[in-house]
């Protein structure tokens, strides 16, 4: 075995179990796969989709309807420019226009290519990708659903295997970080360009093949490329326990969508905090997720506050979050209390500009006083209601779902 213990930050832990349920033995074909997208939300669009096998390569740029967000432009080294009446996808490095297709055309061509690659693999294809957080399978499923291509996809593809999870378990003693860049340097002693989905798709498959060969040779330096049929079958067996069937992936995504809807209902509480900076988002994201995963929506919190103020919130939170850390419960209650009672300063140390908030409230009070003096009959915004413009500061567009942030 390559590794049996995970070492992180100098601490030894029990190896993580694969998050997937695994698949039965069968005749499968492995395909490296990756996508570039306009962002990290499920509703974001594909910019490039790529697939790789030792004998073939598929790569197609896609013209999205909306522009790439700034992190995506930096990550993928591409941008959309308008020339006259036309929008063009360009490479940031060369400033050359990239040949694109529509998303539906690219997905259709990709399915045709996958069908050709399946060959005699009677049990289907396994798509191998590499991500610290599982994002692109859900994005692909959402895109396929949009064009009624999911059923055709499920006839060709058996499941997904995340190379990050495989490396995290199988080679944790020798590598402390499991990114594509680190693994490429450690396993192949080479620097790679990761801004292109084609390169990442190729590397994702090569890494799991290499780890499979290392395990077969008991950790000795592996010889051969792993491209033969026997090597490919060994790699399939090596990653089989990590494979997430498409149906399970689809089911998990449906369950996550319910949680995301609950998270969106909590925007009146967390919306402004998400607009501060990355550090504060990282601090409040687990708190919002705790509420959503416990099945708590904004209306329930409103009712709890109306019925019992702070005590009502404490009762609801402690009933629902029985397994949560005490510190997180305290921080959560502090944020909730400060939301429903604007005069209450939260104990949670968030570097939101409190002076800005006070200034906004002061401006509202001044406007209210001026309105009263002028007897204009207009009402100043009520900052304690969910309809308040100060409370509702949407962190994403309606029906959008944040999956991961870099």
Residue pLDDT, tens place only, 54-109: 999 999 999 999 999 999 999 999 999 998 889 999 999 999 999 999 999 999 99
- The pLDDT, as a whole number, for residue 271 is 76
Q: Is 235 in the same domain as 323?
A: no
Residue 135 DSSP SS3:
coil
- The pLDDT, as a whole number, for residue 15 is 40
In eight-state DSSP terms, residue 324 is: S
Q: Is 67 in the same domain as 184?
A: yes
DSSP 255-266: HHHHHHHHHHHT
| Residue 360 covered by a domain | no
| Residue 201 covered by a domain | yes
Q: CA dist 86 to 82, 97, 136, 286, Å?
A: 6, 12, 28, 42
Q: Is 303 in the same domain as 235?
A: no
The overall longest dimension of the chain from CA atoms, in Å, is: 86
Residue 134 DSSP SS3:
coil
In eight-state DSSP terms, residue 189 is: -
Q: Is 293 in the same domain as 144?
A: no
Domain that holds residue 277: 272-340
Q: Report which of 119, 149, 133, 117 is spatially closest to residue 50, judged by C-alpha positions.
A: 117
Task: Please name every residue paired with 160 in a beta bridge, in sequence order, or none if there are none.
Answer: 127, 244
Q: For the chain, what is the domain count?
A: 2
Task: Please name every residue paired with 35 in a beta bridge, in sequence order, or none if there are none.
Answer: 49
CA distance 215 to 230: 15
> Three-class SS string for 98-127?
CCEECHHHHHHHHHHHHHHHHCCCCCCEEE
- Taking the CA atoms of residue 201, residue 205, residue 206 and residue 207 in that order, the dihedral angle to the nearest 10 degrees is 100
Per the CB < 8 A criterion, the answer to whether 148 and 182 are in contact is: no
Residue 54 DSSP SS3:
coil
CA distance 244 to 263: 25
User: Which residue's entry shows tokens 């089911």?
Assistant: 251
pLDDT in tens, the chain (406 residues): 333 333 333 333 434 444 446 899 999 999 999 999 998 888 889 999 999 999 999 999 999 999 999 999 999 999 999 988 899 999 999 999 999 999 999 999 999 999 999 988 999 999 999 998 888 999 999 999 999 999 999 999 999 999 999 999 988 778 888 988 989 888 888 888 888 999 999 999 999 999 998 888 765 555 545 556 778 888 999 999 999 999 999 998 888 888 888 888 888 888 777 666 667 677 778 888 889 888 999 999 999 999 988 899 999 998 888 888 888 888 888 888 888 887 776 555 554 444 444 444 444 344 444 444 444 333 333 333 333 333 333 333 333 343 333 3
| Residue 21 covered by a domain | no
Q: Is 101 in the same domain as 173?
A: yes
| Residue 326 covered by a domain | yes
- The pLDDT, as a whole number, for residue 347 is 56
| Residue 350 covered by a domain | no
Q: Is 35 in the same domain as 184?
A: yes
């Amino acid at each position: 075995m390559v590794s049996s213990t995970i070492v992180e930050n100098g601490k030894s832990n029990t190896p993580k179990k694969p998050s997937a349920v695994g698949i039965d033995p069968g005749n499968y074909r492995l395909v490296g796969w990756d996508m570039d997208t306009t962002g990290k939300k499920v509703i974001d669009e594909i910019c490039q989709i790529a697939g790789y096998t030792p004998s073939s390569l598929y790569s197609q740029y896609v013209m999205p309807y909306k522009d790439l967000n700034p992190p995506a432009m930096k990550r993928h080294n591409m941008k959309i420019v308008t020339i006259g009446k036309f929008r063009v996808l360009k490479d940031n490095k060369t400033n050359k226009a990239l040949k694109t297709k529509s998303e539906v055309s690219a997905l259709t061509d990709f399915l045709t290519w996958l069908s050709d690659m399946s060959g005699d693999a009677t049990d289907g294809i396994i798509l191998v990708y590499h991500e610290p957080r599982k994002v692109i399978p859900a994005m692909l499923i959402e895109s396929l659903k949009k064009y009624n291509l999911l059923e055709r996809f499920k006839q060709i593809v058996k499941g997904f295997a995340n190379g990050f999870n495989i490396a995290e378990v199988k080679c944790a003693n020798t590598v402390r970080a499991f990114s594509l860049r680190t693994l490429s340097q450690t396993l192949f002693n080479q620097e790679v360009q990761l801004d292109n989905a084609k390169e990442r798709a190729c590397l994702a498959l090569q890494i799991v093949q290499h780890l499979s060969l290392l395990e077969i040779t008991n950790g000795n330096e592996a010889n051969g490329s792993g491209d033969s049929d026997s090597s490919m079958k060994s790699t399939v067996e090596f990653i089989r326990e990590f494979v997430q069937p498409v149906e399970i992936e689809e089911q998990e995504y449906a369950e996550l969508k319910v949680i995301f809807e609950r998270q969106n209902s909590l925007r009146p509480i967390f919306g402004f905090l998400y607009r501060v900076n990355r550090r504060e988002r990282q601090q409040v994201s687990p708190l919002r997720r705790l509420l959503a995963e416990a099945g708590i929506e904004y209306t329930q919190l409103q009712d709890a506050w109306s019925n019992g103020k702070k005590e009502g919130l404490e009762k609801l939170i402690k009933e629902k979050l029985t397994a949560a850390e005490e510190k997180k419960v305290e921080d959560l209650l502090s944020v909730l209390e400060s939301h429903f009672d604007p005069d209450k300063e939260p104990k949670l140390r968030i570097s939101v500009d409190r002076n800005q908030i006070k200034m906004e409230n002061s401006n509202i009070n001044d406007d209210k006083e001026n309105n009263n003096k002028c007897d204009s009959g207009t009402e100043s915004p009520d900052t304690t209601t969910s309809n308040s413009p100060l409370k509702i500061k949407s962190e994403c567009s309606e029906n959008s779902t944040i999956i991961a942030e870099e």
